[in-house]
Structure 1
């Protein structure tokens, strides 16, 4: 057997190896598209994933060039106006409200705006301080309120409280309404968290009791089935309060209101009112 064909074949191997695909490309890593990361907790200011040209968005640097990452900025969502500003009356509305107080002979002074430095929502921009809610009927102590709350209080006293008090002939005329709380920047039921009370905007008053010229005062307290005129009076003024106020709470509503009537003029959808009369007698 001759060795010539084998030698010839071996001599051709380098040429065959050089005849591979001359234009083939070196494999390259696939470039992933940058995707915005949606916040899981509903934060209104989502963070956006960093984008690096030809590099890794995770490490924040372009591996090939070392260039800085290009980040997308998101503008901050503006805060709503403070609640005290949302509740503020116009000049014309305030003038009309004060005219009603003057017509009913309420004794009051126009106070300086109440704007606490440590809370963005509390306060009253056009407060009035009421000393007499009707002629001869004092607020003890005086109450600082928004004018709509003062107007509701004056109407209630004139149209309902004084006529009911006139039925208590042995006590004489109504002389004072005891004020337990008017404006104060706090949360509902004095809790450490949760929604602000309507007291925080000058929309609420806590009535602790009623004083008379001749007989004993009538404090607000649980009076289920007493069968007394004091109970009848308290029930009458409490029920009628919801004709002027949008919230009326008192004994029986919860333990926090067993010694006073909470009256406020919070705004609700479609004029809905919360008038809790407390539990009635069994049977």
Structure 2
């Protein structure tokens, strides 16, 4: 049998399997059902990115997903149609399992991605390296109606689809700074590298100090169309 026929047969079988799951003919656990609501508490798997993608244009589904997290937020009304940087499907995030240096506006998918990142990556990394949890996340904003520096393209910040994180504070008060600790050796630097690697699996784009000088003091994470880990 030729490769093309094998591939075609595989596609037909996969389509049949997905149809059976979608129509409810085949019962599978929700975490393995592509059309089940994303549960932030579940260990991420191959379907997590797809489930996050489904939240982009479905505010009700996104709010349902966030209900499985510890995030505290206030849904925001959509901007007027002729706004310079129109916001839709956004929230004001107040806190989560961590406190933030200030509340911020975030697209609902960005908030969901952060909730996943916090529970399954950030806190486990802190426990592994320091033996304690992160209590506080320091950021320098999410929404800014602007283009990418040196470009005419809109930044993901223009749709509140990005967050810039500058540091973390542990439960005992210890502070880890991207600017100060990334270039060094030791626990703080190892923690930051674990955090950046993990962020690359949760967010579509993660940019850190090694990307360029403009990012030397923060991690930029966003849920834009393109995947990049630098």
TM-score between both structures, scaled by the size of structure 1 = 0.58
Partner-residue secondary structure (3-state), 2:201: coil
2:60 to 92, 95, 102: 95
- Give per-residue Cα distances to partners, 1:93-148, cap 9 Å, x unaligned: 211111111101211011122348662xx2212210111132xx012211201100
Cα distance 1:258–1:99, how it changes in 2: closer, same or farther (>3 A)?
same
Per the alignment, in what secondary structure is the counterpart of residue 101 of structure 2? strand
User: What is the CA deviation profile of residues 197-218 of structure 1, one whole-angstrom value per residue up to 9, with x for unaligned ones?
Assistant: 0000111000011012214210
SS of corresponding position for 2:95: strand
Q: Deviations over 1:33-78 (max 9, x none)?
A: xxxxxxxxxxxxxxxxxxxxxxxxxxxxxxxxxxxxxxxxxxxxxx
Secondary structure (helix, strand or coil) at the match of 1:231 reads: helix
Residue matched to 1:74: none
Match of 2:218 among 249, 253, 260: 260
Residue 166 of structure 1 is matched in structure 2 by 127
Asked if residue 209 in structure 1 is aligned to residue 163 in structure 2, the reply is no
Distance 2:143 2:117 in 1: 19
Displacement of 1:221: 2.2
The aligned length equals 177
SS at the partner of 2:124?
helix
Partner of 1:188: 148
Residue 228 (structure 2) aligns with: 274
Residue 220 of structure 2 aligns to a residue whose secondary structure is strand
Aligned residue for 1:148? 109
Q: Deviations over 1:135-187 (max 9, x none)?
A: xx0122112011001111110111000011113447x4311111212011011
RMSD of equivalent CA atoms: 2.3
Task: Give the Cα–Cα distance (whole angstroms) in 2 for the partners of residues 220 and 208 of structure 1.
Answer: 6
Structure 1 partner of 2:186: 228
Aligned counterpart, 2:49: none
Q: State whether residues 115 and 123 of structure 1, in contact with CA within 8 Å, keep that contact through their aligned partners in structure 2.
A: yes
Q: Secondary structure at the match of 2:146?
A: coil
Partner of 2:96: 133
> Which residue among 86, 109, 112 is the counterpart of 2:77?
112
> In the alignment, is the contact (CA less than 8 A) between 2:91 and 2:105 conserved in 1?
yes
Determine whether 1:249 maps to 2:210.
Answer: no
For 2:60 and 2:95, how far apart are their aligned partners in 1?
19
Larger fraction in helix: 2
**Does structure 1 conserve the Cα–Cα contact (< 8 Å) formed by 2:164 and 2:219?**
yes
The alpha carbon displacement at 1:223 in A equals 5.0
Q: Distance in 1 between matches of 2:213 and 2:95?
A: 30
Q: Distance in 2 between matches of 1:178 and 1:195?
A: 27
Secondary structure in structure 1 of the residue aligned to 2:96:
strand
CA distance in 2, matches of 1:118, 1:94: 20
Select the structure with the greater relative contact order (CA < 8 A; seq sep ≥ 6): 2
